[in-house]
Homo-oligomer: A and B are copies of this chain.
């Protein structure tokens, strides 16, 4: 019982022999290096094509580049991340670089392990999407490898960053709701304990919410549920907001995930959307678009972000050392989850569903 002979892979030497030239010459052709005659190029290229040779990334990595971009994300099941990847892959398609992804999970330890794994695999550039790891550590990574951080407002001169302009996005939502006639608008935010590693994003959305409320003279109506951006957080937050009297006529959830939780809570409470309450989210996930959900939300152009990430990484690999911070302007997507509040003769005294 012998293991089947695992066919040896073609090497650059095979190509060199087949073309009757040196390894170095083949290498030069592959890398489009200077000092190759037209005849040599043709000859080697023909040999490569005939044999179907592809260089081995590991060997290249050992000496120079691995032609690999590593992307670190918490989980893969997130449609927005998929969009980012689409943009990134598109951008890299014309280069020789390939994007690989790795899951960091939601624990510091697993994320660290994943990040190390990318570094150990000699990737030429790293894109981290909404990482949990602290700035200091990111800077350390960035010193070794070109790095782009997406979705964290935590700037650093050591790495490039790409963020959505959350201030503008939140204003879009609030202006929309207020234009519809709402004034008792609740907000669900993400409460982070650790100020150290916390990102400013939820804070920006919450602050903008409060500012706009105040600007319109609705300071007394400000109602924030500080739970989390998860579906569960949205559910809990919604129940908290609903327990107020009078209850809000609209809820601006800090994320679509949370908005889904809000919808679930409203559904459970027997309240209709947007009849009884309008709901808006943030992120324009794919679920938000489904007719049964039809959530008004803020669209961050993940495709553009991913594309930009690819460009910044390639630039860094080419040698740029100054940091670039890119801000993407989001847009509002109005769907059926928001409408004018139900006209009410008396503005107070709406009945609550009994607990």
Contact = CB atoms under 8 A, between A and B. Distances in A.
Interface string A93-125: 000001111110100000000101100111000
Given A103-B99, A290-B287, A292-B264, A54 B143 contact: no
A79 B82 contact: no
A260 interface: yes
A105 to B, nearest CB: 7
A57 B122 contact: yes
Nearest to A63: B58
Given A62-B58, A103-B99, A120-B57, A75 B68 contact: no
A144 B54 CA distance: 14
A326 interface: no
B121 A9 contact: no
A194 interface: no
Could you say which interface size class chain A belongs to?
35 or more
A100 B101 CA distance: 6
A6 B124 CA distance: 13
A7 interface: yes
A286 B77 contact: yes
Contact of A58 (B77, B116, B121): B121
Interface in A255-271: 260, 263-264, 267-268
A54 to B, nearest CB: 6
Contact of A55 (B77, B81, B98, B120): B120
Given A81-B76, A102-B99, A263-B292, A58 B122 contact: yes
Nearest to A78: B77
A3 interface: yes
Given A85-B103, A98-B102, A102-B98, A319 B3 contact: yes
A86 B114 CA distance: 14
A280 to B, nearest CB: 15
Nearest to A117: B98
Contacts of A291: 263-264, 267-268
A22 interface: no
A59 interface: yes
A332 interface: no
Nearest to A79: B77
A82 B78 CA distance: 9
Nearest to A93: B110
B290 A260 contact: yes
A321 interface: yes
Contact of A121 (B57, B102, B144): B57
A272 B281 CA distance: 26
Contacts of A85: 75-76, 103
A62 to B, nearest CB: 5
A77 B68 contact: no
Contact of A9 (B82, B98, B144): B144
Nearest to A71: B101
Contact of A7 (B66, B100, B143): B143
A194 B103 CA distance: 34
Contacts of A101: 76, 100-103
A180 B66 CA distance: 58
Contacts of A6: 143-144
A18 B75 CA distance: 39
19 contacts: A4-B143, A6-B143, A57-B120, A57-B121, A57-B122, A58-B58, A58-B122, A75-B82, A76-B78, A77-B79, A98-B114, A99-B103, A100-B101, A100-B121, A101-B102, A121-B121, A263-B292, A267-B291, A267-B292
